[in-house]
Amino acid sequence: MHPAIQGLLTIAFGVGGCVGYFYFSNLVLDRVIFPARGAHIARNIRRANMIRPWLFLLPALLALGLYLAYPVVETLRLSVTERVPGGGSEFVGLANYQQMLAEAKFWEALQNNFLWLLVVPAASTAFGLLAAQLTDRLVWGNIAKSLIFMPMAISFVGAAVIWKLVYDARPEGTDQIGVLNALYIYFGGDGPMRWLTIPFWNSFFLMMVLIWIQTGFAMVILSAALRGIPEETVEAAIVDGAGPFQIFFKIKVPQIMDTIVVVWTTITIVVLKVFDIVFAMTNGQWETQVLANYMYDKLFRANDWGVGSASAMVIMLLVLPILVWNVYNARREMR
């Protein structure tokens, strides 16, 4: 069968299945389970109306259970078991967690993740806020916003390839195609540097990639928040003699603080799950390991599912509180 026809049939069956489910489930509820007739008509209608939302939510709940809850439970099970020769597994308690905590690579990954957490969300939010404030004042602000937002359309791996070219180092005496080395030598540097192999500083070179991507996201959200500030408050500050910096830091920033926090926490969650950039640029070498890459190494290279799953649980435990708080904050802002 032609792929296009196959695709159209899939869409038709998918949409038809959804429409059919909602129509027939509604029909069964109203005509068979709780019919709107007889001596208990009022009670039946009330019960049908109570059940109807859950009936419509059922497919989504099943999908969430299959693709979200089940993997979490299975990962938890794998983290406390160990594969045995010949197939199967046996319960080992917290032995995988103890083994993970005894590895220097895990602590290196944890330390690097905290370093990423300190730098990337703060820098992305600050640059995004700065870009939002400055572009709103420019005639060609929309073009500038489009250019700053463009990296969001690039995958993390694609961005990593682009920045690898920026950090590229060719042998001494040859033309440098890496922008950073070209500038370094132009301003009197001794020779081309392999930036991604310099411990500690190489983590910052990797962070630059994520900051470059996330600044556009922060700018768009914060720009909308800045435009929502009542003009009266700014005009009142100007009448009182406030300067541009005072208006920005004492009038505008406090009014959009909730949005700033939401942007910061959203980027924090992205940072905790960062994998692609490190994998594509250094693969965790030269002391750039992060938790997600450590988990990948254990699961798919060392084939150690117990320790790999334990590290996955650590990532989930780090992400979960921020995620819950972010959702709570977003819902509070919507109210």
126-174, pLDDT tens digit by residue?
Answer: 999 999 988 877 778 788 888 989 988 888 899 999 999 999 888 877 7
- State residue 140's pLDDT score: 81
- State residue 265's pLDDT score: 87
C-alpha span between 326 and 22 (Å, rounded): 32
- State residue 171's pLDDT score: 82
- State residue 213's pLDDT score: 93
Token reading at 328: 């709570």
Could you say which residues of the chain have pLDDT below 70? none
C-alpha span between 198 and 149 (Å, rounded): 30
- State residue 243's pLDDT score: 85
- State residue 126's pLDDT score: 94
- State residue 108's pLDDT score: 93
Nearest CA-CA partner of 323 in 264, 260, 257, 265 = 265
C-alpha span between 224 and 227 (Å, rounded): 5
Whether pTM > 0.85 for this model: the answer is no
- State residue 62's pLDDT score: 92
CB 110 within 8 Å of CB 103: no
CB 281 within 8 Å of CB 196: yes
- State residue 2's pLDDT score: 80
Backbone angles phi, psi at 35, to 5 degrees: -70, 140
- State residue 293's pLDDT score: 92
